[in-house]
Chains A and B, each alone.
Chain A
Amino acid sequence: MFRYLMRRLLAAAVILVVISAITFVTFFALPTDPALLACGKTCSPSRLAEIRHALGLDKSLATQYWEFFKGLFVDRTYGDQSITVHCNAPCLGVSFQSDTPVLTILLGDFPVDLSLGTGAAVIFLVVGVGLGMVAATHKGKAADKVAVSASLVGVSLQIYFVGLLLMWAFVDKWQILPAPSYTPLTQDPVGWFQGLLLPWATLVVIYLAFYTRLSRSSMLETLGEDYIRTARAKGLPMRRVILKHTLRAAITPIITIFGMDLASLIGGTAVITESVFGLNGIGKQAVDAVTNSDLPVTMGTTLFAAAAIVVFNIIVDMAYGIVDPRVRLA
């Protein structure tokens, strides 16, 4: 088990290095010049060269990448005579825009997506599997049709539409909720909950449909298995047949997909939700960084999202090993 984990982590590190290199190269293939942007409207050639030097853009691509990589293990100092920024290892670089170390930015934004993503994911998983279960056990009956068509409505809605509608109703019209915002859970649990309720609801509406249909079909498939018939043949009550024997097997294929969805939500895919509700998360940070040609922040957010996926991949595989006794981790 331990050796398995070590091997997986090593492979993950290699993947992240490759991704960072690709991001690096792609960034420089873009036509925009970050130095020109930082220089502003009244830019003299000498000032431009200065900025280029300060940002380290005058060095070769390989040197720049090497310095970035070295920064992961040793402290770096940026800047020239006027301003110097110190960046402690592990250093992911310093933002061109705000002169803040990228890691500081990421650590500041990360809790927003962690709360937003995990909260929404827990709700859509539980509710989706529940609805899917009801639909599967009432196949073809009214409950099934309601669950399936309700989930179809959800799938055809757009985040900005649902989000703005919910905001208008709950915040502006009925005024039962405060405007969405992020308050750390440790600081004020009630505020955390109230501030994230609408963003969660929005994400849940979008994802729920998929999880309902996924678990419905997985349940239906499992219900047709011979071992479910065996469970009934023992004289078990239907409730137990479904909640124990069927659910356990039906949930397994859902784990993988759920793990990937959760990872990408935490990694910042909920960018539209973030911006509709004015939350400053990784997703928004990433979009801003690309717009501003802020290489270090672009790198940082990309690597963060990639790391989330890679880590959750390992978690999912290990979870499989626990849930399914036939799977041996090796």
Chain B
Amino acid sequence: MAIELPPQTADGTAPSAFLDVRDLQVHFPTEDGLVKAVDGVSFTLEKGRTLGIVGESGSGKSVTSLALLGLHKGTRAILSGEIWLDGEELVALPEPAMRALRGEKVSMIFQDPLSALHPFYMVGNQIAEAYLVHHKASKKEAKDRAIDMLKRVGIPQPERRVNDYPHQFSGGMRQRAMIAMSLVCNPELLIADEPTTALDVTVQAQILDLIHDLQQEYGSAVIIITHDLGVVAQTSNDILVMYGGRCIEYGSVQDVLNHPEHPYTWGLLQSMPSLSSDVHTKLNPIKGNPPSLINLPSGCAFSPRCAFKDRVPGGRCMTERPELRPMAGNDQHIAACHLADDEKTDRVAK
């Protein structure tokens, strides 16, 4: 009998949650230079809880989630850091062991279901296949399971629709089929990468409810990736804000949305229609462009776009990279910003 060794983390502390990501880095060597798509991201997530990851396009949200599935293995991506899932470390896990987890223990609802579903195979076959890789079952049983899943996610006439090809589904149905496929093995960690973008509001609400219900039923840990703080407010317990491949604010949804500490988070909140009480309030999109991931601005990556950098004396925002630190004495709410706490209270009160 093998002796169970306690997991060896880099700093010797035991993984503190079902999912414990520590200083994750994903870098891509390219002709133009090293793209630091994810550069030191840490977070934890317990079963039954939901984490929302938000950030602009290109901030590294998808690359982070692909790392959780081990999908960077066998590519040119360079990974470092640790991903502890249920006491097992995934960054160094060999491909065969990782493969056994994929789709079974960790699964993902991909962004853009039209291109994420294979155009040449029937939807039902694609769902059944996901089941068959991890279960000893007959083709018939797997197909029944696929029909069952399609029914669960609210596809009408699943017995007939199971034989349709993806192009015969509507956008919302494709998203549901994608969800059915990712849930067919009852994963313990479900990552939903923008599961509702490009869907109209009613369908969006249905899909989010569906994910919520299935989470309740199986007690899975869920990560929801989105541009939309409204979705996070509705679904998540915790929120992680990414900017230029780094975490710039992290905490409970209440803390972060009610007392945002980073000017970028303020900007995100201001550029959101659904949270502003007055419909006539003009939206304020954050000015400027996302940073280059090859040459991040020195100092704070957000400084070129930040309206408050002059309030920090000595031009520190341009020279010194702010570390994540607890805000307002709350250990559970961290942000990376040089602005003194009183400056911000000042700003938020406005």
A residues sitting closer than 8 Å to B (CB atoms) are: 225-227, 229-238, 245, 248-249, 323-326
Contacts and interface: CB of A to CB of B under 8 A. Distances in A.
Interface string B71-115: 100100000000000000000000000011111100110101001
Contacts of B115: 225-227
Interface stretch (B116-124, B245-253, B303-311, B319-327): B116-124
B118 A236 contact: no
A249 B115 CA distance: 13
Identify whether the interface residues of B are mostly helix, strand, loop, or mixed. mixed
B167 A233 contact: no
A323 B134 CA distance: 28
Nearest to B119: A326
A248 B126 CA distance: 14
B162 interface: no
A229 B110 contact: yes
Given A226-B115, A230-B110, A235 B102 contact: yes
B305 to A, nearest CB: 30
Residue among B69, B74, B120, B181 with the highest chain A CB neighbour number at 10 A: B120
B224 interface: no
A249 B120 CA distance: 7
Interface in B24-69: 66, 69
Given A225-B115, A326-B165, A233 B120 contact: no
Contact of B119 (A234, A237, A325): A325
B167 A326 contact: yes
A231 B116 CA distance: 9
A310 to B, nearest CB: 27
B181 A249 contact: no
B107 A233 contact: yes
B129 interface: yes
A248 B121 CA distance: 10
Given A233-B69, A235-B134, A323 B120 contact: yes
Nearest to A231: B118
Main SS class of interface, A: helix
Contacts of B214: none
B133 interface: yes
Contacts of B173: none
11 contacts: A226-B112, A229-B116, A230-B181, A233-B102, A234-B102, A234-B103, A234-B133, A235-B130, A248-B120, A324-B119, A324-B120
A235 B101 contact: yes
B71 A229 contact: yes
B112 to A, nearest CB: 7
Given A233-B107, A236-B133, A227 B117 contact: yes
A249 B117 CA distance: 12
Name, among A227, A232, A236, A324, the residue most crowded by chain B CB atoms within 10 Å (CB to CB). A227
B118 A227 contact: yes
B124 to A, nearest CB: 13
Interface in B119-164: 119-121, 126, 129-130, 133-134
A245 B167 CA distance: 17
B118 A230 contact: yes
A224 to B, nearest CB: 10
Contacts of B103: 233-235
B26 to A, nearest CB: 15
Contact of B117 (A230, A236, A248): A230
A234 B116 contact: no
Contacts of A324: 119-120
B114 to A, nearest CB: 9
Contact of A227 (B66, B116, B130, B167): B116
The 5 closest A-B CB pairs, nearest first, are A235-B103, A235-B102, A226-B115, A234-B103, A234-B130
A236 B117 CA distance: 14
A133 B131 CA distance: 27
Contacts of B99: 235-237
Given A325-B165, A326-B165, A326-B167, A233 B118 contact: no
A233 B100 contact: no
Contacts of B130: 234-235
A191 to B, nearest CB: 42
